[in-house]
Amino acid sequence: MRYWLMKSEPYEFSVDDFAASPNQTIAWEGVRNYQSRNFMRNQMSVGDQVFFYHSCCKDPGIVAIAAVSKAAYPDATQFNQQSKYFDPKATPDNPRWYNVELTLTRQTRLIPIKELRQHPELGKMRVLQTGNRLSITPVDPSEWQFIVSIL
C-alpha cells in the first residue's frame, strides 16, 4: 500500500462536495501534469490511502482521508470537446490522460500547512518543499503515520 496527498481547490471541488458525491466516490479527472498522471497511472493501486488537501485558499491544508477505489483508466474529459480538459491530441486508442477513483473515508479537522511545517518529522514532505506545485505527491509511510497521530 502507498500513501498520497491530492490537492483540490475548494472553489472547484471541496471536501463538502466530496461528501455529497454519490457513494462519496469521485473520478479524479482533469489532471494535466505528466508527473501527476504517471503517479496515478503507474503507481496508484486500489486501497492506497490519500490525504485530501484544500489548496489555493485562505487556509490550505489536509481536510480528509480517502482511498483509491478504482485503478487508473483513461480520463473521459480529454475526449470531450466541451470540457475545459479536452485534449485534441488524445484519442481513445492512444489516451494521454488518466484518472483514478477515490472514495471518502472520513473528514478530518483542518490540518493547515502552517501546522504541518511546525513538525520536524515532516521536514521532507513534498507538499512542504519550496516550489512544489504538483497536485499529487507521494507521502512517506512515516509521514502518514505521524499526521494520522495528530488528527
29-49 pLDDT, tens digit each: 999 999 999 999 999 999 999
Q: Residue 55 — φ and ψ, nearest 5°?
A: -125, 170
pTM: 0.94
Distance CA 94, CA 97 (A): 9
Q: What pLDDT does 133 receive?
A: 83
Sheet holding 49-54, edge to edge: 25-27, 98-112, 61-74, 49-54, 3-8, 136-139
Q: Mind listing the pLDDT tens digit for each residue in 76-111?
A: 999 999 999 999 999 999 999 999 999 999 999 999
What are the structural domains of the chain? 3-132 (3.10.590.10)
- Beta-carbon neighbour count of residue 140 at 10 Å? 15
Q: What pLDDT does 130 receive?
A: 84
When pLDDT is cut at 50, 70 and 90, the band that residue 70 belongs to is: very high
